[in-house]
Amino acid sequence: MPPADSDQVLVEANGVTRTLVLNRPKQLNALSSEMITCFLRCFTAYEEDDGVKLLIVKGKGRAFCAGGDVAAVVRSINNDSWKYGAHFFRNEFLLNYIIATYSKPQVSLLTGIVMGGGAGVSIHGRFRVVTDSTVFAMPETALGLFPDIGASYFLSRLPGFYGEYVGLTGVRLDAAEMLACGLATHFVSSDIREGRTQTVGECLRREYRMVCHVMRGDFSRDFFEGCRAILLDRDRNPKWMPPRLEEVHDEVVEKYFSKVDDPEWEDLDLPPRRSHGRRLVPKL
């Protein structure tokens, strides 16, 4: 496994899976020349490695990737070095091509901002997973440029004139719009993944609130009905209330995360631990 040259790209190995993490959260993971070089090396090496079957790309922080680091390109041009910009885009476009023609599946977890160069390292891949926090755009025209990174390929394949609309206006799309037009392939609610950004203590405190509401039967008695049907009467025919998932409303679910309305109830009190840094990192 080729290691990253710097901490701008983190490489995680889990069995046959390799995860590349864009790690410039303060810059919204804007693609630097260093990051592009690292991606090129990793994608090239993993394609030849029979021990690697799947690549995952994600960003650290509130953005997947806000685009290429064009500020660095402009600074170089102002210093009479236009060739730096040409070299930057040459490598970026080469990376886009390798991803678009890659022989192994790539999953891009598009949480938060996905713009410009961020689209280039994700949209060309096989699977693009969006969440309710995803914001997609091709904003190059606002910078006096044009939608690059192979956008003339994937935008031209969107339904009707939607690609022209996205490319010319720089409009921001949400997850539902990305799914509808084909820019995304799958949707996962970001709430489901909330525990990934929390400590084990925070997760246990939240779950303690939830289980206390369940024990009290505050909003539902499905737990008691499930135990009756499986463990007590064993008829394996629970009568859920409501009977269908689509009848479960968000406002009821949210109540499970609230404090319990009982003067004697307290949140889960966990003692401080010296060895709190070790954590299990969930993998796809």
Q: Quick one: CA torsion of 121, 157, 90, 65, rounded to 10 degrees?
A: -30
| Percent share of the chain, pLDDT over 90 | 53
pLDDT given for residue 271 in this prediction: 81
User: What was the pLDDT predicted at 1?
Assistant: 45
Instruction: Give yes or no for a contact between 181 and 159, defined as CB atoms under 8 angstroms apart.
Output: yes
Q: Let me know if residue 4 belongs to a domain.
A: no
Are 140 and 247 in a shared domain? no
Q: Is 98 inside a domain boundary?
A: yes
Query: pLDDT tens across 19-48, in order?
Result: 999 999 999 999 999 999 999 999 999 999
> What per-residue confidence (pLDDT) applies to 193?
61
Q: Give the model's pLDDT for residue 98.
A: 93
Instruction: Enter the pTM of the model.
Output: 0.70
Closest C-alpha among 87, 83, 86, 94 to residue 39: 94
DSSP classification of residue 185? S
**Alpha helix (H) residue ranges in the chain:** 33-48, 70-78, 82-100, 117-120, 151-154, 162-169, 175-181, 200-216, 222-227, 250-255
Q: Which of 44, 147, 48 is nearest to 95 (CA)?
A: 44
The residue assigned the tokens 């959260």 is 25
**Which range in 73-82, 166-175, 207-216, 250-259 is most confidently predicted, on average pLDDT?**
166-175
Closest CA to 143 of 63, 90, 74: 74
> 């600074």: which residue's tokens?
75
Q: pLDDT digits over 148-197, tens only?
A: 999 989 999 999 999 999 999 999 999 999 999 999 999 988 666 666 66
> Total structural domains in the chain?
2
Task: Answer yes or no: do 179 and 251 share one domain.
Answer: no
Q: Is the pLDDT of residue 251 over 90?
A: no
Q: Is residue 284 very low, low, confident or very high in pLDDT (cuts 50, 70, 90)?
A: very low
Which CATH number fits the domain that encloses residue 17? 3.90.226.10
Copy the structure tokens of residue 236. 């394996």
Q: What is the pLDDT of residues 188-226, one digit of tens each?
A: 886 666 666 667 778 778 888 888 888 888 888 888 888
Q: At how many degrees (to 10) do helices 70-78 and 82-100 cross?
A: 150
Lowest mean pLDDT across 13-17, 91-95, 218-222: 218-222
On whether residue 268 sits in a domain, the answer given is no
**pLDDT confidence of residue 213:** 87
Cα 94 from Cα 90, distance rounded (Å): 6
Q: Is the dihedral of CA 250, 253, 257, 263 positive or negative?
A: positive
**Does some domain include residue 271?**
no
The predicted model gives 8-25 an average pLDDT of: 95
Say if residue 206 is in the same domain as residue 166: no
Q: What is the mean pLDDT of residues 110-120?
A: 95
Cis preceding-peptide flag for 263 (omega within 30 of 0): no
Range(s) of the domain holding residue 92:
9-193
Instruction: Answer yes or no: do 160 and 22 share one domain.
Output: yes
Q: Once rounded to an integer, what is the mean pLDDT over residues 57-86?
A: 87
Determine the 3-state secondary structure of 121 from DSSP.
Answer: coil
Residue scoring higher pLDDT (141 or 127) = 127
Chain mean pLDDT for the chain: 87
Does 170 share its domain with 210?
Answer: no
> At which of 193, 222, 241 does a domain end?
193
Q: Which of 173, 193, 213 is the last residue of a domain?
A: 193
Report the pLDDT value the prediction gives residue 6, as an integer from 0 to 100: 67
The whole-angstrom separation of Cα 273 and Cα 255 is 30
